[in-house]
Amino acid sequence: MYLSSHRGEGDYLPWAGIKVEPVSAGGNDVRIIYDGLLVKSGAQQVYMHSGFGKRRSWENVYDHRMEPTGRGWEKTLNMENKQVNFCFKDSANNWDNNRGENWTYVVTD
């Protein structure tokens, strides 16, 4: 599932509980907010599993520990290019990966 910057305004998928907000002028620094399936199932810790590059060939894959906030679990990261691929897991290794399709956020000009 693709999300896009909508002229620098970020994107939101209510059904998935995912919001992406640009936090820098160029849009390469983004805050990803997750309040989806794992949170609704009582996850005590959420991690964002992310990578850069084409949708099916992730590079520089990393698990980011997300921080709990009043809006859900949040993580701010710098995208290496104009696209980041991501999904989520909890500390019990349960995944929310959009049924294996993951999510991709793309910064459009």
Beta-ladder partners of 68: 73
- What is the domain-level CATH number for residue 40? 2.60.40
Number of domains in the chain: 1
Give the domain range for residue 54: 2-106
- What token pair was written down for 50? 């992310």
**Is residue 27 exposed (0-12), middle (13-18) or buried (19+ Cβ within 10 Å)?**
buried
> Residue 38 and residue 46: Cα distance in Å, rounded?
8
> Residue 93 and residue 81: Cα distance in Å, rounded?
28
What is residue 64's predicted lDDT score, i.e. its pLDDT? 97
> Residue 13 and residue 42: Cα distance in Å, rounded?
20
What is residue 48's predicted lDDT score, i.e. its pLDDT? 98
Q: What is the pLDDT along the chain (109 residues), one digit of tens a residue?
A: 567 665 556 788 888 999 999 888 777 789 999 999 999 999 999 999 999 877 667 889 999 999 999 999 999 999 877 889 999 999 999 999 999 999 988 887 6
